[in-house]
Structure 1
Amino acid sequence: MTLDFTYQASAARIVFGNGASGDVGKWVEALDCRRALVLSTPHQAADAEALSKRLGPLSVGIFTTDGQGCFRYKTVRPGGYAVPSDGPVGQMLGGLGFAMRRPAHLHFLIKAAGFETISTHVYDGSDPHLGQDALFGVKDELIGEFKPTGKGDASTLDFTFTMVRAKKGRGTP
């Protein structure tokens, strides 16, 4: 005998029941999400792969944790870029002599129920323009070291984000 039930809290929806994972695409859409990231432990990797395939274009990918709950992913190494100078803010910054560029960085938005949301960047410590950020976002604690892996132009970046419990009464995701 199986027991089917649904439990929904503020930022979580847990559904148990035979074949329940077949409806996960409906849940993604019902939560007004455009895409979903499948998180998995190593021993559930095959299930995560099947779920990602079932989601099709709604799946952005799969992150599989290691034994300590950490995960890794691949992306292109970021590059710096010029900031547009044709609008009023660009004209003002340029007129004041500010550099019109952003140093290389990756964006992160990390949410978890009961914790403050983290919205930040991690900057490439080897970018020669770290001191010339038009948005003044570079802070020492946000600078990472991209280490070559020895496999072509691949690099790794190890970075730890520390989440803080949300203040009492404050809305969380």
Structure 2
Amino acid sequence: MSIKTLSTREIYRNPWLRLREDRILRGNGVEGIYGVVDKDDCAIIIPIDGDHVYLVEQFRYTVQQRYLEFPQGGWEMQDVDPEELARGELREETGLVAERMQFLGTTYVAYGYANQKMHIFLATGLTHAEKEPDPEEHDLQLHRVLIADFEAMLREGRIPDVCTLATWGLYRLR
């Protein structure tokens, strides 16, 4: 079944995202409205050092909680090289530089309402450098966690970030 866009209008825009409302015609002939979040690509990185992974802890405003997750983010610009983005995000958020960056795949963050792609990388051969956080990342804390403990946190629901969970699942399936 296909959906045809009859018209579209931008509802809201800021430096991080655009929200549009599309008037649609479904394949069954019923018209409707679809809200879409347009957001530039992002990257998520699995920084592995032996039997440890690095996680960042930060306050997530939308849920008013601090959580652990893999380093991830975007640069709010189109046509960014995914590996360059991944290396940049890793350095910004953790101060880590990867000798090797292996591309694992691409997923969509939440394609039920957003079109943002997430490029997944495995970072190894890590060395420490200076962090280069964005102003929004002022409170990031870096954690080096045993893989066994990290997986226990995932199983117990202590790391509820779907991007981190999906990324680790993809890594373990390879």
Q: TM-score when scaled to structure 2? A: 0.24
Higher-Rg structure is: 1
Higher normalized contact order (CA 8 Å, seq sep 6+, divided by chain length): 2
Q: TM-score when scaled to structure 1? A: 0.24
| Bigger strand fraction | 2
